[in-house]
């Protein structure tokens, strides 16, 4: 499976952000002919006030961006894991990934489970829960004869989710992100590689890059494809760009056969209410 990750720098102008992302996607498909492509978390809009981001949210499947993404997947003939966008559902908003097959049909929808509510060491505050509700479902889907697991950004810090995805048969785990510069420089590569090693999955970690919100906030970039042994197959530059890699599932089978950690996993069977 040949994959392309499209690393973008989004800010508050939704139409401009979407146009840049889809142009970069089209250029990558024309140049590299991938079968599968990934966009970052919040690629249509990042930053701004809660009210601005709420105004940029759309219903799924009735929003214009949903239809545009479906049309793009069909026109390019690819499976498109469309990062994430803000989804309205009644009075609620979710941070949602939508996946389309090469005919433009929806394959999967995942609402981000773990919300980024933190104050970083430099004093920058992120409160995702001011806008977004957490999802409640662990999601995998079938594409190109493979089982693919869904995660978004802050989910990376919760290995239980990745273990559950592997238990559900995941061979590839996709991680669209807007991972911050402050945390990313120390934790991004370490955590992405750890999740790949633990699950023996390919991890496609597609990040935002660069400054936004008037330069007050920044994302780390370094989008990467990591193999089931934890090797970094490809990594993006510190700018908007694409990164391409080919996934070798025979190699994955060999890794899982030689080191069958999933069969050895026992802690889930322990009764933690007992002592002694």
Enumerate the active-site residues: 41, 112, 153
- Taking the C-alpha atoms of residue 57 and residue 225, their distance in angstroms, rounded to an integer, is 29
**CA–CA gap between residue 35 and residue 183 (Å, rounded):** 31
**Three-class SS of residue 25?**
helix
Instruction: Give buried/exposed letters for 48-73 (b at 16+ CB in 10 A, else e).
Output: beeeebeebbbebeebebbeebbebb
Query: Which are the contacts of 203, defined by CB distance < 8 A and separation ≥ 6?
Result: 172, 173, 174, 175, 192, 195, 196, 225, 226
| Phi, psi of 190, rounded to the nearest 5 degrees | -60, -45
3-state helix, strand, coil in the chain (%, to 5): 35, 30, 35
SS3 (DSSP) at 127: strand
How far is it, in rounded angstroms, from Cα 169 to Cα 131? Answer: 32
Q: How far apart are the first and last CA of the chain?
A: 49
């Amino acid at each position: 499976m040949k994959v392309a990750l499209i690393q973008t720098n989004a800010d508050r102008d939704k139409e401009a952000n979407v146009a840049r992302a889809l142009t970069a996607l089209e250029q990558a498909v024309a140049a590299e002919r991938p079968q599968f492509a990934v966009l970052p978390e919040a690629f249509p809009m990042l930053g701004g006030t809660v009210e601005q981001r709420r105004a940029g949210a759309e219903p799924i499947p009735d929003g214009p961006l949903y239809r545009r993404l479906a049309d793009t997947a069909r026109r390019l003939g690819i499976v498109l894991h469309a990062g994430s966008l803000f989804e309205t559902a009644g009075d609620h908003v979710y941070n949602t990934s939508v996946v389309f097959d090469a005919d433009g049909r929806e394959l999967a929808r995942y609402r981000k489970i773990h919300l980024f509510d933190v104050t970083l060491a430099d004093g920058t505050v992120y409160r995702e829960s001011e806008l977004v509700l957490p999802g409640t479902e662990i999601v995998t889907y079938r594409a190109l004869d493979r089982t693919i697991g869904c995660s978004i950004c802050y989910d990376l810090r919760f290995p239980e989710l990745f273990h559950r995805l592997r238990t559900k048969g995941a061979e590839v785990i996709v991680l669209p992100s807007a991972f911050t510069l402050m945390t990313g420089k120390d934790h991004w590569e370490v955590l992405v590689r750890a999740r790949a090693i633990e699950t023996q999955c390919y991890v496609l970690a597609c990040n935002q890059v660069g400054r936004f919100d008037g330069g007050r906030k920044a994302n780390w970039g370094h989008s990467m494809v990591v193999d089931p042994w934890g090797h970094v197959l490809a990594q993006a530059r510190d700018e908007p760009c694409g990164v391409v890699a080919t996934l070798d599932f025979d190699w994955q089978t060999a890794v899982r056969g030689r080191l069958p950690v999933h069969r050895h996993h026992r802690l889930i069977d322990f009764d933690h209410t007992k002592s002694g």
